[in-house]
Structures are given as C-alpha cells and as structure tokens.
Amino acid sequence: MSKISANLTARRDALGLKNDDVLAELSRRGIERAYSTVASWFNGTRGSRWDMEELKALLDVLQTDLDSITEGQVELVEEKLPAATAREMRGLSDEQQQAVLAMVRAMRGGSGTSK
C-alpha cells in the first residue's frame, strides 16, 4: 500500500466511514464511480493518476487537503510544457517511463532533481 493510500485509509477510518459511505458521498457531489474504483484508492491499486474533480471531491468527503494526505510529497504540475510531458508519459509502460527519466537525468548531467 502506498503512503497516500495508507493516509487516505487512515483518514477514512478516523471519520468512521466505509467505502460504501465514501461512494455515496461522492455520488452526492456528482462524482459517479464504481465501488472497485473507490476501493482501489484505499488499497493502493489505483496508482498515482487522478482526475482532479474526483480528487477534490474525495478530499472534501474526507474533510482534508492534498498536502495533509501526501505529507507535502506531491507537486501539482500547472505549467503547460511539464503538464504536457506528464500526459505523454501516461501512455508509456513503467519501463519506458524509467528510460525517459534516465535520459532526462543524463541530459541534465546527473541524477538529482534540482532545477
């Protein structure tokens, strides 16, 4: 289970909610998802790609914010070129994404993440 999933689960449990409760609250907010999708958010099988509207609704249901759930470890990409790059990466396998990342790091002259 990822740290984010663990934090989402802890928050859900702290509020005394079950997956069915979360599903119902999301529906009330106009977000229709399958039970299996909601369950995947909490068990860690969802991955890291989120629709922003569903994420906002989920955080609202859980009465929390993104920074609290991610412990400050997630950065939202708002600039056009980085956002487009992130979208293009979605269509690649994990292995391909790692290869692209290695190439970018090599082009920058190292493995660090500084700008």
Cβ atoms of residues 100 and 36 within 8 Å: no
Calculated CA dihedral for residues 92, 94, 96, 100, nearest 10 degrees: 100
Does the structure show a pLDDT above 50 at 101? yes
Tell me the C-alpha distance between 54 and 60, whole Å.
10
Residue 21: helix, strand or coil by DSSP?
A: helix
Lowest mean pLDDT of 18-22, 78-82, 98-102, name the range.
78-82
What pTM did the predictor assign? 0.61
CATH architecture under which domain 3-78 falls: Orthogonal Bundle (1.10)
Confidence of residue 15 (pLDDT cuts 50, 70, 90): very high
Structural domain boundaries in the chain = 3-78, 81-114
